[in-house]
Amino acid sequence: MIIPNRMLNPEALQGLIEEFVTRDGTDYGEREASLETKVAQVWRQLDLGIVAIVFNEQEGTCSIVAKDQLPEIPEIETG
Cα 45 from Cα 79, distance rounded (Å): 24
Task: Please determine, for residue 29, whether its predicted confidence score (pLDDT) is greater than 80.
Answer: no
Pairwise CA distance, residues 51 & 44, whole Å: 9
pLDDT grade for 59, boundaries at 50, 70 and 90: very high
Its CATH architecture, for the domain 2-69, is: Orthogonal Bundle (1.10)
CB distance 40 to 24 below 8 Å: no
| Whole-number pLDDT of residue 24 | 67
DSSP state of 59: T
Q: What is the pTM of this model?
A: 0.75
Mean pLDDT confidence for 25-30: 60
Is residue 72 pLDDT above 60, yes or no? yes
Q: Residue 74: is its pLDDT beyond 90? A: no
DSSP-assigned beta bridge partners for residue 51: 66
